[in-house]
Amino acid sequence: MSAAALTLPLAEAAVLAALASAAVSPLAARWPRALSLLAFPLLGLAAVCALAAGTLALGFDVAQGAVLPLGLPWLPWQLSVDPLAGVFLLMLGAVLLPVSVYGPGYAREFRNGRDSLATLGVSTGLFVAGMLGVLLAADAYLFMVAWELMSLASYFLVCFQHEHADHRRAAFVYLLLAHVAGLLILLAFGVLAAAGGGFSFAAMRAAHPDALWAAIAFALALAGFGAKAGLVPLHVWLPEAHPAAPSHISALMSAVMLKVALYGFLRVTFDLLGVPQWGYGVTLVVVGSASAVLGVLLALQQSDLKRLLAYSSIENLGIVFLALGLAQIFQAAGHPALAALALLAALYQALNHALLKGLLFLGAGAVLHGAHTRSLDRLGGLLRRMPRTGWMFLIGCLGMAAVPPLNGFVSEWLTFQAALQAWRLHDGLLRILVPLAAAALALTAALAATVFVRAYGIAFLGRARSRSTRHAHEVGGGMLAGQALLVAGIAVAALLPGPLLGLLGRAALQLTGSAPAGTGWLWLTPLDPATSSYAPLPILAVLLAVGALGVLLLRPRQGAAVRRADPWDCGYAPPTPRMQYSAAGFAQPQRRVFAPAYALRETTAADRHEVEVGDRTWVWLYRPLGMLADRAADLARRAQAGHVRRYLAWSLITLLVLLWIVS
Amino acid sequence: MSLAALPLLDQAVLVLAAMALFSAFALLAQSRLLAAIHVFAWQGLLVAAVAALMGAASGDVNLYVSAAITLALKVLLIPWMLHRLLRRLALERQADPLAHPALTLLAAAAIVVFADWVAAPVAQFEHSATRNVIAISLAVVLLGLLMMVVRRQALAQVLGFMAMENGLLLAAVASTHGMPLVVELGVAFDVLVAMVLFGVFFLQIKDSIDSLDVDRLSQLSASIEQDEEPEPRP
């Protein structure tokens, strides 16, 4: 049996391992160590299997399918693995493995609390199994079952610490939007199944619905998967739910679940729907740019570390969808090579976001574990007290800020390379729109850098702003090892983008029919060497050389006297930690410049200044919707008031109307 | 088509059915409960007479049986039970006036016209007398429902319900020469059981809210409508 034939069995083994992890978790109610000795290692096994399956699927370009003896008698569940699923299996494995190493240390904190460890383990196992199921499903039925399993399990994880009222509210908002999203996706599959005459993806792929129905399916899929992926304006659950969940779960939700939604969207739009349309592309570019800009602007104003990361996820997914829009536009315009490049940029951005955001959420969990607070206004100076976490968090921040030679730069650079080829398009509107999107992307990149400078500077540099932070301690070995694994993944993605892009190119080939060129191990030349090229290893070498030179030149001479003294303090009272730059103060200029984007409320009293930065979508979209729902409920209640005679009158009217209709 | 052109038997059936419709109007407008029970008994008698006449016309024994059952139940037993209930609840002199009598009767007239219009396409019956009876029985059913809507007294609503049943029986007798005997017996038994249950219910309602006004039943849910307990904050 060749290695390629092992792909699907390995993927199935991953699902079984995740289910087994859920099955053994009830033991934790009696024996708390079951979680760290059984449940998390099983999740690690699932991660290794998923990694192996993903690598094999991409490496050997396999497409394997199987029919399970499960499901309804006339509608058996079908599985398949192809390069597209392989990309996401790879992402899932790459994040789940560190999480399973990190998890035991983090969950130890809950042992003495009121929260049920068994619930945590069961929900995590089912959550992972659901995500794997979505990736492996080859028919809409299994896809929806796995999708709902993923949504419901993650709901229980969000409301895990349900004694906090805001966690319950976050979980409710999440459940509501997950339900709406599930409904929309179901309808999208309904449209496709009606055209294809069956629920299997093969049947849907073979059929081509007419333009109107295809557009309806696209809109439903975009709204459904977009809600799960956190696209504006359906993103509101994300900044609520991610901080509420335990940190390793936030890492899984942000790094993997959003990508599973992306996978679903890619599967429906690029694979099942088939015919590319420039209209789809424009929609994606507009929605993606809006999400990216709004996400980063809101991230800039958050004072809760995990909330900040959640808004940054919205920004990153916005960039991914922007790149997908470019791919759709280029494909519709007959430039498959450029479409493949844009798609590759989207996939690489997704992979990088998974690794970086996984690392940052694990880091935020470590901060929460060590300093017992997530609020930037209470952190500070953590680099001194938690040096290892601090350095690894720095790597994550640099990556998110897209600084070379880290991997965030590679994917944004690729996106720009695709966007800057807009001159090849013939449509004047698109030739204007695409550079505008590129400008939005540039703005986003600059603001993202600010976001992470602010987050890192406030939390890890300076002096501690609270007592608990002053007494922060470094986290244990397992939690550090989990973060270190992600740093290793980031190093691979940052320094060897060529081979990785070559692997991901198989998925681009599957979807666009063209594989990108110029993915050598040293030089990355996606278009042609004269236009642009990138080589991370030489850049790293130059950076290291310059850094070493600097250290060498600036190092105090041997034996020179070093005087230690307080810096000049202008003769005023000695500075206290409260005099440092605050989180709100750092972001004040952007708050002024971009004021129309925020729902601001500032109050200034004699001795204090309060700023509340809200999300405009709540004011513009959700509050009116909520009022509308309230009013509808009021009307329904008036009809349903418990008056017997009113019910009878409804029956009489219904009867009369029905009689009138039949005659 | 004039009534006189029909055979004598059909003429008689039509007249009786028309009287049943009239009794439905009387039932709707009669505000005194005691008198309403009497009107209901008369309506039952008219339906029983229609069934017996159809039986005489077709020679079908089933129809005689159905007439006998109607006579026993709708004319004698149920009115008697209602009487007894009325006495036990001390409601003999109770009146249940309509809120808008003129409006209600106009609506009832409109319903009759509507029923005639609905029944008009039922043209497969060559027998025009039957067709008219179907329109009338549909009107009786709808008027019974209307009575349940406009009357506030629970006992009057039961009368409306029973009147609907009368209308159904009239339709069955006129259009299909009677339902199968098994069905007939089943329906009769159902009505009887319903009557017994209504009686028990009324005594309970009277006990708990001291009235048989159904509008006051909505107060029963008021205790549930209170807001949920405030969320405890940790």
Most confident of B2-6, B72-76, B179-183: B72-76
Which residue type does B78 have? I
Q: Chains A, B: CB contacts under 8 A, how many? A: 50
Band the pLDDT of A602: cuts 50, 70, 90: confident
B163: closest CA of chain A, how far (Å)? 15
Place of tokens 């029944």: B119
A398: closest CA of chain B, how far (Å)? 38
Contact between chains at A659 and B114 (C-beta distance less than 8 A): yes
Overall average pLDDT of the A318-346 stretch: 92
- Count of alpha carbons within 13 angstroms of residue B104, beta-carbon side: 23
Band the pLDDT of B127: cuts 50, 70, 90: low
* Secondary structure, 3-state, A376-437: HHHCCCHHHHCHHHHHHHHHHHHHHCCCCCCHHHHHHHHHHHHHCCHHHCCCHHHHHHHHHH
- Which has the higher per-residue pLDDT, A454 or A209? A454
Q: Is the pLDDT of residue B105 over 50?
A: yes
For B112, name the nearest residue in chain A, comparing CA atoms only. Answer: A656
pLDDT of residue B102: 87
pLDDT of residue A346: 94
Task: Give the residue from A521, A525, A401 showing the smallest Cα distance to A454.
Answer: A401
d(CA A563, CA B221): 82
Band the pLDDT of A258: cuts 50, 70, 90: very high
A651: closest CA of chain B, how far (Å)? 9
Question: How far is the CA of A159 from the CAs of A124, A305, A361, A500, A577, in angstroms?
Answer: 13, 19, 18, 37, 35
pLDDT of residue B3: 66
Q: What radius of gyration, in Å, describes the C-alpha atoms of chain A? A: 26
**pLDDT tens digit sequence for A263-285:** 999 999 988 887 888 889 999 99
Task: Give the residue from A413, A397, A402 showing the smallest Cα distance to A309.
Answer: A397
Overall average pLDDT of the A134-147 stretch: 94
d(CA A378, CA A632): 44
- Which residues of chain A are within 8 Å of residue B114 when distances are taken between CB atoms? 656, 659-660
Q: For residue B224, how many other CB atoms are within 10 A of its CB?
A: 7
Q: Is the pLDDT of residue A214 over 70?
A: yes
- The answer to whether B156 and B96 have CB atoms below 8 angstroms apart is yes
Task: Give the residue from A49, A196, A69 showing the smallest Cα distance to A129.
Answer: A49
Overall average pLDDT of the A171-190 stretch: 94
What is the ipTM, given to two decimal places?
0.80
pLDDT of residue B204: 78
Q: Which helix (H) or strand (E) holds A602?
A: strand A598-604
- Which has the higher per-residue pLDDT, A334 or B125? A334
- In sequence order, the β-bridge partners of residue A86 are none
A642 closest CB neighbour out of B150, B151, B218: B218
pLDDT of residue B231: 44
- Which has the higher per-residue pLDDT, B224 or B11? B11
Band the pLDDT of B234: cuts 50, 70, 90: very low
Interaxial angle between packed helices A278-300 and A211-229, expressed in degrees from 0 to 180 and rounded to the nearest 10: 20
Contact between chains at B145 and A648 (C-beta distance less than 8 A): yes
Phi-psi domain of A108 (left: phi exceeds 0; alpha: psi -120 through 50; beta: other) = alpha
pLDDT of residue B123: 55
For A646, name the nearest residue in chain B, comparing CA atoms only. Answer: B149
Q: Is the pLDDT of residue B228 over 70?
A: no
- Which residues of chain B are within 8 Å of residue A655 when distances are taken between CB atoms? 142, 145
d(CA A162, CA B45): 67
Which of A313-322, A433-442, A599-608 is predicted with the least confidence, judged by mean pLDDT? Answer: A599-608
pLDDT of residue A122: 93
pLDDT of residue A41: 93
Overall average pLDDT of the A317-331 stretch: 93
- Residue A111 DSSP symbol: T
pLDDT of residue B233: 46
N-to-C CA span, chain B: 83
d(CA B11, CA A210): 63
Contact between chains at B148 and A645 (C-beta distance less than 8 A): yes
Band the pLDDT of B124: cuts 50, 70, 90: low
Which residue type does A190 have? G
Contact between chains at B234 and A163 (C-beta distance less than 8 A): yes
Overall average pLDDT of the B133-139 stretch: 89
Contact between chains at B145 and A641 (C-beta distance less than 8 A): no
pLDDT of residue A424: 85
pLDDT of residue A224: 95
Band the pLDDT of A107: cuts 50, 70, 90: confident
Overall average pLDDT of the B119-147 stretch: 79
Contact between chains at B214 and A644 (C-beta distance less than 8 A): yes
Q: Which helix (H) or strand (E) holds A612?
A: strand A609-615
d(CA B52, CA B61): 9
A659: closest CA of chain B, how far (Å)? 7
The pLDDT > 70 percentage for chain A reads 99
Please classify residue A429 by burial: count the beta carbons closer than 10 Å to its beta carbon, then call 0-12 exposed, 13-18 middle and 19+ buried: exposed
B60: closest CA of chain A, how far (Å)? 31
Contact between chains at A643 and B150 (C-beta distance less than 8 A): no
For A165, name the nearest residue in chain B, comparing CA atoms only. Answer: B233
b/e map of B152-180 (b: 16 or more CB within 10 Å)? bbbbbbbbbbbbbbbbbbbbbbbbebbbe
The pLDDT > 90 percentage for chain A reads 52
pTM beyond 0.95: the answer is: no
d(CA A144, CA A139): 9
Per-residue DSSP letters for A185-251? Answer: HHHHHHHHHHHHTSSBHHHHHH----HHHHHHHHHHHHHHHHHHHT-TTS-THHHHHHHHS-HHHHH
A659 closest CB neighbour out of B118, B149, B233: B118
b/e map of B5-31 (b: 16 or more CB within 10 Å)? ebeeebebbbebbebbbebbbbbbbbe
d(CA A511, CA A276): 11
**pLDDT tens digit sequence for A451-494:** 999 999 999 998 888 888 888 888 888 999 999 999 999 999 99
- Which has the higher per-residue pLDDT, A552 or A663? A552
- pLDDT mean across residues, chain A: 89
Q: Is the pLDDT of residue A601 over 70?
A: yes
d(CA A254, CA B199): 63
- Which residues of chain A are within 8 Å of residue B148 when distances are taken between CB atoms? 645, 648
- Which has the higher per-residue pLDDT, A20 or B201? A20
Chain B positions touching chain A (beta carbons under 8 Å): 111, 114, 117-118, 120-121, 142, 145-146, 148-152, 157, 214-215, 217-218, 220-221, 231, 233-234
Q: Which two tokens stand for residue B124?
A: 């497969």
For A166, name the nearest residue in chain B, comparing CA atoms only. Answer: B233
Q: Is the pLDDT of residue A56 over 70?
A: yes
pLDDT of residue A514: 82
Q: Which helix (H) or strand (E) holds A75?
A: strand A75-81
**pLDDT tens digit sequence for A528-572:** 777 788 888 889 999 999 999 999 988 877 777 777 877 777 777
B217 closest CB neighbour out of A644, A652, A660: A644
* Secondary structure, 3-state, A255-287: HHHHHHHHHHHHHHHHHHCCCCCHHHHHHHHHH
A164 closest CB neighbour out of B118, B148, B234: B234
d(CA A568, CA B212): 90
Band the pLDDT of B157: cuts 50, 70, 90: confident
A123: closest CA of chain B, how far (Å)? 24
Q: Is the pLDDT of residue B230 over 80?
A: no
pLDDT of residue B222: 47
- Which residues of chain A are within 8 Å of residue B146 when distances are taken between CB atoms? 652
**pLDDT tens digit sequence for A117-134:** 888 999 999 999 999 999
Q: Which two tokens stand for residue B58?
A: 């077709």
Q: Is the pLDDT of residue A432 over 70?
A: yes
pLDDT of residue B227: 42
